[in-house]
Structure formats: C-alpha cells, structure tokens
Structure 1
Amino acid sequence: MANVLYVTCNLSPQGRSRTLSLGYQFLEEYLRWNPRDEVRILDLYRDNIQRFDQDVYSALKKIVRGEGCSILTDDERRKMSRIWQLADQFGGCDKYIFVTHSLNLWLPAEFKVYVDTICVPNRTYRLTPYGAEGMLPGEWKKSLHLHAAPFSYGKEADQSIGYLRSLLNFFGVTDQESVLLEGDDMDGGDDENYQAARRRLMDLALRF
C-alpha cells in the first residue's frame, strides 16, 4: 500500500477545467488498479497553507541557532506547527500527483507558498558543510505533474515543469513523469492535444 499526495492549484471548478478533469480521471483509473492505496488531497487555494512570514523567519533562525522550540512565541509555535505538519506529510508520502496551470510563464503564487512550506531543514532537506541536500530517498518515490499552459508566450518558455522537476530532484524524487496540456478551459483548447494527454495519463495510471 502506498501513500499518495494529490496536490491541485487551480481556481476553476472541476467542471470548467480540462486539467482538473484529466487529473481526477487519472486518479480514478489509478485507484482502480491500486484500491488499497491511501490518497491525501491538498487544494492550495482552499486549504490552509502557512505563508513564510516574519514569525516563521524568526522561528527558523532560533531553531538553526540551536535555541530550541521552547523559546518560540505563541504565534511562531502555531505557524511552525502547521509548516512541520505539511512538510512531514510531504516527506511521508510515496507518490506525488501535481495538477497545475501556468500563470505568467510560471506556477501560481499559491504553489510557491506551498513549496516554501515543505522546504524545511531536517524535514525534507538537511544542511551539510558542502551545502543543502535532499532527504527523500529517490529510489522508490515517484511523481506525476499534469500542467496546463493556456496559451503561447511567443519565444519564451513556461518555467513551471522545469522548476518542479528541479525541486523534486533536489529532494531526491528522481522518478518523474510530466504531461503538458495546451489550454485549461473546457470551452477552448486543442481537443487532439486533450485526447493525447488523456491517453498518456491512462497508460501511466497502470504503472504509476
């Protein structure tokens, strides 16, 4: 049995988003083949994701200096508790499914807020004399990233897939699959591209 983390970052309801629709189709097909797996769903627009603010910065500085958690203020302790909860949830999962869309050549700000929440020393990475290194064993963890690019930015390339790939590589999650969908709105987009993405996702569901 595997623990699966399903992360979405999309303001559109499922019925209006081709990306969310495909994501849930993949999840349903995956669970058909892996009915005992446990799935945890995280909606970055809906769920409480603690932002990296002054309290969090202050708390991390105290912890890095070895001062311990006992001297944290109530606000620092409350906010760090949520951050540790999310980081431990991420580190404790075996498989990751990310369903996102492009916003100005990159991921929405809410996704970066989540990344800052799970990038926590001694949870997902450690500091060494040679620099930071990931703490997640890549030989058995894997990820799938379904990403929608609503339109072309001319010669400029969307940075979303490459960024998430680099982040996961840093953590140690090297078994990765990415599926790019052109267009996210149900009323627009290339149907041929949609069907090609769907076929690939259904195939991946058998071996993810």
Structure 2
Amino acid sequence: MANLLYVTCNVRPQDRSRTLSLGNEFLEEYLRRNPQDEVQILDLYRDSIQRIDLDVLNVWWRIERGEDYSFVSDGERNKIARLFRLADQFRRCDKYVFVTCSLNLWFPAEFKMYIDAIGIPDPTSCMTPLAAKSMLPGQSRKSLHLHACSPHDFLQEQELSVAYLRSVLSYLGVTDHETLLLEGDDLERVSGGEHEKARHSLLELAHRF
C-alpha cells in the first residue's frame, strides 16, 4: 500500500480550471486502480499554511543556542506544531501529485509557503557544517507535477516553477519525476483536442504511477 499526497494550489473553481479538472480525473483513475492506497489532499488556498515568520525563527534560534524549549510561548509553540504537521505529512508519503498554475513566471505565494513548511530542519532535512541534506529514508519516492504555464510570452524570460519544484523534491529525496505542462489554465480558452490529449496522457500515467 502506498501513501499519496495530492497538493493543489489554484484559486480558480474546478469547473474553470484545466489543472484542477484534469488533476481530479487523474486522482479518480488512480484510486480506481489502487483502491488500497491512502490519499491525503491538501488545498493550499483552503488549508492554513503556517509561514516562516519571526516567531518561528525565534524558536529555532533558541533551540540552536541550547535553550530550554519549555520557555517557548503558546503562540510560538502552535506555529511550530503546524509546521511539523505539514513536514511530517510529507515525510510519511511516498507518492506526490502537485497541481499548480503559474503566476508571474512562478508559483503563487501559497506554494512557496508550503515548500518552506515541509523543508524545516529535522522532519525532512538538516543542516551540517558542510551542506544541507535530506533526512528522508532511502526508499523510492515519485512525483507528478501538473502545471499550467501562462499562455502569454514574457519576452525572453523563462518560466521557473517546474525546475524549482524538481530541484526541491530531488533534494528532499524524491527522485522519480513526471511533469505535464499545459498552456494556460482557463478551460474556456482551450481547444477540445488539446484538452483531450492532456487528459489521455494523465489517465495513461495513472495506470503506472
């Protein structure tokens, strides 16, 4: 039995979003073929994602200095606990699906907040004098990234989202990557043939993911 984490970051309703509608079809097909697997769903626009703020940094500084953790305030303790829950959820899974869209050549801010949350020290990574390293077990982990790029050109500038997520996941120990890129996220502005081609690719992937 596998544990799959399904993460979405798209403010559009599902009936207006190519990524969300296609991602939902992928998930339904995946569950049909893998009914024994456990799936956890995280909507980064709906679910509260704790940001790395001054309270969080203050706790880390105290821990690094060897101070007693009991002196942490209730507010600081709650923030750290929320970060650890997200990082532990990520650590306990071995398959990941990310359904995202581009905003100004990158992810929306909510997605970066999530990456910061799962990358906190101890649950998934640690810092050594020489380098940062993953703390995830050496088991095989895989990811699927369904991403809608902007349909508009930004002169010579490049979309950065896909390469960034792949680098972060590889660092955390996820080494098997699948990516499906869409041009634009609005269902009303895409041809039926293009949408069906992407749908076919995703459903085929669901059979072997």
Q: With the length of structure 1 as denominator, give the TM-score of the two structures.
A: 0.95
Which digits, 9 at most, give the CA deviation of each residue in 1:52-72, with x for residues without a partner? 111011111112223242121
- What pairs up with 1:74-89 in 2 under 5 angstroms? 74-89=74-89
**Is the 1:123–1:135 contact (alpha carbons within 8 Å) kept by the matching residues of 2?**
yes
- Code of the aligned partner of 1:189: V
Query: Percent identity, aligned pairs only?
Result: 58
CA contact (8 A) 1:144 1:178 kept: yes
Contact 2:19 2:185 in 1 (8 A): yes
Name the structure 2 match of 1:124. Answer: 124
- Contact kept, 8 Å, 1:136 with 1:173, in 2: the verdict is no
Q: Is the 8 A contact 2:105 2:150 kept in 1?
A: no
Counterparts of 1:160-175 in structure 2, within 5 Å, are 160-175=161-176
1:145-156 matched pairs, under 5 angstroms? 145-151=145-151, 152-156=153-157
Distance across 1 between alignment mates of 2:155 and 2:22 = 26
Assess if the C-alpha contact under 8 Å between 1:139 and 1:174 holds in 2: no
Q: How does 1:159-198 map to 2 (within 5 A)?
A: 159-198=160-199
User: Retained in 1: the 8 A contact 2:140–2:175?
Assistant: no
Structure 2 unaligned regions, length at least 5: none
5 Å matches for 1:26-175? 26-137=26-137, 139-151=139-151, 152-175=153-176
Distance in 2, Cα, partners of 1:137 & 1:195: 38
Given that 2:9 and 2:43 are in contact with CA atoms closer than 8 Å, whether structure 1 keeps it comes out as yes
**Aligned residue type for 1:29:** E
Query: Does residue 18 of structure 1 match 2:18?
Result: yes
Query: In the superposition, relative to structure 1, how do residues 21 and 138 fare at CA in structure 2: closer, same or farther (>3 Å)?
Result: farther
User: Equivalents in 2 of 1:139, 1:30: separation in Å?
Assistant: 21
Aligned to 1:121, what secondary structure does the other structure show? Answer: coil
Distance 2:162 2:138 in 1: 18
CA deviations on 1:42-88 (whole Å, 9 max, x unpaired) are 00011011111110111111122232421211111010010001110
* Contact 1:6 1:96 (8 Å CA) reproduced: yes
Q: Following the alignment from structure 1 to structure 2, what is the Cα–Cα distance between the partners of residues 99 and 142? A: 15
Give the root-mean-square deviation of aligned CA atoms: 1.3
Gaps of 5+ in 1: none
Offset, 1:139: 4.2
Alpha-carbon displacement from aligned partner over 1:89-131 (angstroms, at most 9, x marks no partner):
0111111000000000000000001111111111111112321
Q: Secondary structure at the match of 2:82?
A: helix
In 2, Cα distance between equivalents of 1:200 and 1:66: 52
Q: Given residue 120 of structure 1, which amino acid in structure 2 is its aligned partner?
A: I
